[in-house]
Structure 1
Amino acid sequence: MTENKKTINQYEYPNFIESALAIHGSVTPRVWKKVLAASGYACFISLLSIFIPSLSLPISPFEYAGVIMGLILVFRVNAGYDRWWEARKLWGTVVNCSRNLAIILTSYIESSDSEEIDKSLSLIAAMPYLMKNTLRGFTSTDEVKHLLGNNTYAQLQQWQHKPNFISSKLAEVLAQMQINGKLNQFSFLKAEELRETILDCQGACERILKTPMPFVMAIKSRRFILLFLMILPVALVNYSVYISPMIVTLVAYALFSLDQIGVELQNPFSIDNLSHLPLNDICNTIENNLMEIKNNLSHLPPNDIYNTNENSLGESIIANETIELEQA
């Protein structure tokens, strides 16, 4: 059960009551002050209504206003979730491209060229760590120090956009292997395509990071919440002076929570936000997978057994066509 829970969500309890009362990962600690202020305001209106009996409003308009406000907040949450989910898909692409790139390099390069393979896989493994730190605004490179040589690590410190440096360095290594005949044309082009895709994912994540939700949407939704919670206690005093603060507290908690959830989902990379993407785990997974591929994947037999010449397929087709013509 523990292993299954970790696979699904390490913070989501199987028991409904435990999940409902959980504090870790909840927005409650971030909205309780606003909820308390709304409750205090409702208590003030209830006390004021005792001295001013005419202080009341009909409740029916709030029924329609509540529906409209719910739709606005749901739209805000959905917009935030779309950003979160897009970021997760992009990092899934990074995982897949890193694995495929490692498989290409370990399969189509002879095992005797282990130095080139190790250098390439180290660069691929370092890329996600630097992508993560760039998205989180961190400048530290300690996580990749064990993956890079001293010269490469020293050059890395001089670059402001460090994923660009690693991608450029990997492109140089791939080009050199292709020039030296260690990587055929087809494998080189496919490896380049995967390298470009990883860097494209970094650019797409930066687009999410640097394009916040429209500020006008936040202003209107929060202004609506404020007006609703200021007028609602006046309408509830007709029913019960004592129950009104309790109802306002529950309504305020729901509204403020939905608004805060939309805020938390806007930036899926920041560790300060709730439910941020587990980028540390993803980076560690990529590195472990790449090292496993390097250590366990069998290499192709030498060229004298399997012809790896990029023109071999075309030559075979021409030979087959010649035989068919002779038979005809």
Structure 2
Amino acid sequence: MPAHRVQSFPWYHSSRQKPRRWPLALRFIKGSVHANIIAPIVFYTLFTTLVVFIDQHLNINLGVPSTVTPSLSIVVGLLLVFRNSSSYERFWGGRQDVSHIVSNVRNLSRYFMLCGPNESDEDRQDTEKAVKTLVAMLFAMRSSLREDWGIPDKEEEPEYTDLLPRGMQGHENWGVALPLELAFFVEKYIRKGHKRGNFQAPQASMLTSQLNAIIDGYGHMETIRLTPIPVCYQIHMKQVLSLYCLFLPFSIVDDWNWVAVPMVALIAFTLYGIEGIGQEIENPFGLDRNDIKMDNIVRDARQEITTLLECWKQGKEEHFL
């Protein structure tokens, strides 16, 4: 974006980034996985120090042939590639689901405002309620994926509670997901428009399909959220990494002597860092810096649709035609 241009509201929150004060290569806290991998790095550094000390000062030769290391390196590399690719696939799949859901909410909102049963004040109130409910579904999905159950207090999150149908309590304590419950209000509105003749049968079917696509996208995100990487793979991954890092000092101590200590620390940092990235992004719906910016995406969608809704309420929808 040119420096002279003022950023406008489309994607305002989603695209907003703080200027970087330090190059990414020098960042060790915010957004990194270093805090999660410091323990194994310190352990293998100390272990290598012990191996080198025994080999150099106690005259006990601990060196072993280094021919096994390349073969084990290939196995470790393949495991890490699969681990990270599967994790990023989950991250990218979740982001695509969010995008598809927002697109369907946009389409339904536009169609309701322009083609819905809006002949009377009561009809227009129902249309406003349906559009707000669609936006509320975005907030409900975000909260549900974070296991933030229940409807928040009005003072806690007014931009969410103001969108919900009046008097709605929710039945999450009975095992009903709030996005699914909100979908009933939207489907009821589509049926009303079909009975009134505002939506012909093909149109009503198309609108219901888009509503179903929202629920399908939410279901796919639930699958990502509730399906962890198989524990057998995680166990074997940890064991292979440990075996490699424990064997490495013995294979390089004869050639590198004390230089083996920083070398093992660097290799452990690299391998465990890659594995830590996979763990970080396999559940992309949380609040970490590396997760999908759900709050900002939902906030942008709310701003976009409520602005159009306010114009529509004032009878200015012809400005968009």
Equivalent position to 2:97, from 73, 82, 90: 90
> Of 132, 140, 161, which aligns to 2:142?
132
User: Which of 116, 125, 135 matches 2:126?
Assistant: 116
Contact 1:136–1:270, Cα closer than 8 Å, also in 2: yes
Go from structure 1 to structure 2 and tell me whether the alpha carbon gap of 1:76 and 1:11 turns closer, same or farther (over 3 Å shift).
farther
The alpha carbon displacement at 1:237 in A equals 1.4
Asked whether 1:183 is paired with 2:199, we answer: yes
Q: Which residue of 2 aligns with 1:75?
A: 82
- The question of whether the paired residues in 2 share the 8 Å contact of 1:11 and 1:24 is answered with no
1:222-261 equivalent positions in 2, closer than 5 A: 222-261=238-277
**Distance in 2 of aligned mates of 1:68 and 1:125:** 47
Q: Which amino acid aligns with 1:116?
A: D
| CA 72–249 in structure 1, closer or farther in 2 if over 3 Å, else same | same
Amino acid at match of 2:265: T
d(CA) in 2 for partners of 1:48, 1:12:
49
Indicate if the aligned counterparts of 1:25 and 1:275 stay in contact, CA closer than 8 A: yes
Over alpha carbons, which structure has the higher Rg?
A: 1
Match of 2:225 in 1: 209
Q: Within 5 Å, which residues of 2 pair with 1:163-182?
A: 163-182=179-198
Structure-2-length-normalised TM-score: 0.84
Indicate if the aligned counterparts of 2:91 and 2:284 stay in contact, CA closer than 8 A: yes
Instruction: Map 1:5-154 to 2 at 5 A.
Output: 10=17, 13=20, 18-22=23-27, 23-49=29-55, 50-109=57-116, 110=118, 112=120, 113-142=123-152, 143=157, 144-151=160-167, 153-154=168-169
- Specify every segment of 5 or more residues in structure 1 that has no aligned partner in the other structure, as ranges: 301-328
Q: Within the alignment, does 1:193 sit opposite 2:199 as a pair?
A: no
- For the residue of structure 2 that corresponds to 1:243, the secondary structure is helix
- Cα root mean square deviation, aligned: 2.5
Query: Any idea what the Cα deviations from partners look like across 1:200-238, whole Å, max 9, x if unmatched?
Result: 111111111122112221111211110111111112210
Kept in 2, the 8 Å contact 1:126–1:147? The answer is: yes
Residues 130-181 of structure 1: CA deviation (Å, up to 9, x unaligned): 1111111111422431112432x23567654111110112111221232233
TM-score normalised by length of structure 1:
0.82
Query: Retained in 2: the 8 A contact 1:69–1:225?
Result: yes
Residue 313 of structure 1 is matched in structure 2 by none
CA contact (8 A) 1:31 1:253 kept: yes
Distance 1:155 1:269 in 2: 22
**Residues 51-73 of structure 1: per-residue CA shift (max 9 Å, x gap):** 14321112232123223311210
Matched, 1:269 2:276: no
1:270 positional shift: 2.4
Give the distance between the partners of 1:156 and 1:291, measured in 2 at CA. Answer: 26
Do structure 1's residue 293 and structure 2's residue 308 form an aligned pair?
Answer: yes
Q: In the aligned structure 2, how far is the partner of 1:123 from the partner of 1:230?
A: 56
1:102/1:293 contact within 8 Å kept: no
Shift of 1:283: 1.2
Q: Contact 2:33/2:277 (CA < 8 Å) preserved in 1?
A: yes
8 A Cα contact 1:104 1:187, kept in partner: no
What SS does the aligned partner of 1:238 have?
A: helix
Output the CA distance in 2 between the equivalents of 1:132 and 1:29: 27
Partner SS for 1:237: helix
3-state SS of paired residue (2:193): helix
Whole-angstrom distance in 1 between the partners of 2:241 and 2:146: 31
Give 2:76's aligned amino acid. Answer: M
Separation in 1, partners of 2:173, 2:124: 28
2:206, 2:43 → 1: CA distance? 59
